[in-house]
Amino acid sequence: MMDSIPPKVQNQIAQFQQLTQQIQMVTSQKIQLEAQVRELDKTIQELEKTPSESVVYKNVGSLLLQVKDKPNLLTELKEQKETTDVRVKTLERQDKHLRERHSSLQEQITHALQGPGAAAPPKPDTGGE
């Protein structure tokens, strides 16, 4: 089957498959980061609700450490959320670009495999000769 396909089209098919994998990878990363943003958002909301005299702990690796400076922790979490939001937006732009390229390649491959004569659909038979 692949022997009858021109090398240029075979190359396009390989690029198409690569783009498909890249789209899946970017989508997966984006989903993970969006979950992180939601988790950070909930954490920030809960931390803002707690009274200033409350004891607060921070997860550092496999340890929980008591935080003495709650406002500093809140600032740190907000900055982390902002950074993660920027990364999500970057992945969204990357995803959009990859999908556009993917769609374009799909059209090129389809057109190349159909051949020049198959581009126009057959005219319907009206029955009147």
In CATH terms, the fold of domain 2-113 is: Helix Hairpins (1.10.287)
114-to-21, 38, 90, 94, 122 alpha-carbon distances in Å: 25, 46, 36, 30, 13
Query: Confidence band (pLDDT; 50, 70, 90) for 19?
Result: very high
Specify the higher pLDDT residue, 1 or 104: 104
| Token couple for 28 | 């997966």
Q: 50: helix, coil or strand?
A: coil
For 42, 84, 109, the CA distances from 67, given in Å and listed in that order, are: 18, 23, 58
Confidence grade of residue 4 (pLDDT, cut at 50, 70, 90): confident
pLDDT tens for residues 77-101?
Answer: 999 999 999 999 999 999 999 999 9
Q: Please state, rounded to an integer, the average pLDDT across all residues of the chain.
A: 89
Mean pLDDT of 5-30: 95
pLDDT tens per residue, range 54-67: 899 999 999 999 99
Q: Answer for the pair 47, 77: CB distance below 8 angstroms, yes or no.
A: yes
The predicted model scores a pTM of 0.77
- Determine the angle formed by the axes of helices 70-114 and 7-49, rounding to 10 degrees: 160
**Stronger pLDDT, 2 or 90, i.e. the higher one:** 90
